[in-house]
Structure 1
């Protein structure tokens, strides 16, 4: 079976690649810059240089593919949803032209709303477009990535995270490696068919207060959290260089899910994955937020 993997250097994609290698599969990996591949895997994969927004290039790169792990690429443009639509056109075109019968798509909790959740609306569009093809497709509805905290290293060093969600509102938090293991299992398993939705909720739903407590224990640095206004967050994102359209799309991922939202898939054994935020933070954040924090753990 020929399996293709997009975003193979990303937080999830790189783990999908290694999981497939461990299973004895030589995957085809699609990426803009093959030089970014981990040197440890480059001799064991077939790398194809491709821009996922280029529908013709994606179709050419996926000829002969039986199964595809598709991730809509990140966007930094003024119109993120237009970019998601372009990526959707690429995967739809490749699946149709090449007769790819099996797709695992990295979606998000909140895509079930279909609209009103910022950037997640772009993932919802990809879901519905793949559904319309009548292929075997699994949508991975993933929780909030642990790795999003790596975008807030300065705030962690300063000791205070700022968020716009209620501090006591629980949500699913998940390790990207756990998502990859679910994705690889789906790509390799012959036992499912049709349209499937597989939630990937991590080990527990956590509030931001609980997250701050866990990060404090894992890193040895006192970390708090405060809720700020939407406008204050909007100003922060603008200062970070985001365009107006991107700012609203990013804000929408929180504002669209903070009022009476309940994930379509409940937490069950099937949707729960093992890696805890505490263990991930100890491994990945402890040394990155400063020698002082690392020193207190010795």
Structure 2
């Protein structure tokens, strides 16, 4: 079985790669520069050069695959949504050209809205493109990554968890390694076919107020939640030199989930994963 793994150095992809190796498979790591793969995993995998925005490289890198784990990368030098749409067309063409029978796509909660969720709109476009590819496809609708907290470390150290989200709105929070476990099981299984959506929700829904309480316990110092306005977020991102389209892609992710969103995938035994935020934070943040 030849399984291709996108973003094999990422928060999820690195775990997917390791799990496949531990399952006795020699996966193919798909990345821009194979030389940057850690030596300890590199000896157990094959590699191929893949640039998601270059159609020829996507076709070449995925030739001969029986299954593909696809992650659409975020573009930092252009409109992120347009970049996702470009990559979506490339992966659809590659799946069709190479006859890849199964694809597992790392999507996101909110993609079912199709429009109005910022960068997630690009993931929605990728879902639609893969649905048209002729392959059997599983879309993993993932919750809010624990690792997103890494982007707010300075504020957390100073005792504040800052967000534009409603502080009391519960959201699914999930460990990237748990997403990897769901993905690896799907990639290894030949028992499913057609199109399916799999929520990946972590063990419980948490509001930012609850997350701040968990961080307080795990880190040993007070962390208070602080809600800021969309205008404040826009101003901060613009001051960092981001373009209007890049700012919109970030701001609208929060707006689209916060203001008018009911998840298509209800929490259930099929969507719950085991890693709790408190233990994860004690290990990775403390």
Give me the TM-score of the superposition, normalised by structure 2.
0.98
Structure 2: runs of 5 or more not aligned: none
Residues 65-113 of structure 1 deviation map (CA, whole Å, 9 limit, x = unaligned):
1100000012113411110011111211110110001000000000000
* Residues 1-298 of structure 1 aligned to structure 2 (within 5 Å): 1-286=1-286
Task: Point out 4+ residue stretches in structure 1 off by more than 4 angstroms.
Answer: none
- Contact kept in structure 1, 2:30 and 2:47, CA below 8 Å: yes
- Contact kept in structure 1, 2:159 and 2:224, CA below 8 Å: yes
- Contact kept in structure 2, 1:167 and 1:209, CA below 8 Å: yes
Instruction: Tell me, in whole angstroms, the C-alpha distance in 2 between the residues paired with 1:120 and 1:94.
Output: 22
Q: CA deviation at 1:240?
A: 3.2
Instruction: Tell me, in whole angstroms, the C-alpha distance in 2 between the residues paired with 1:135 and 1:99.
Output: 8
- What number of residue pairs does the alignment pair up? 286
Instruction: Tell me, in whole angstroms, the C-alpha distance in 2 between the residues paired with 1:198 and 1:9.
Output: 23
Instruction: Tell me, in whole angstroms, the C-alpha distance in 2 between the residues paired with 1:268 and 1:136.
Output: 23
Q: CA deviation at 1:239?
A: 2.7
Structure 1: runs of 5 or more not aligned: 287-298
User: Cα distance 1:245–1:158, how it changes in 2: closer, same or farther (>3 A)?
Assistant: same
Instruction: Tell me, in whole angstroms, the C-alpha distance in 1 between the residues paired with 2:260 and 2:113.
Output: 12
Residues 164-206 of structure 1 deviation map (CA, whole Å, 9 limit, x = unaligned):
1111000000000000000000001111110010000001000
- Contact kept in structure 2, 1:78 and 1:244, CA below 8 Å: no
CA RMSD of aligned residues (A): 1.0
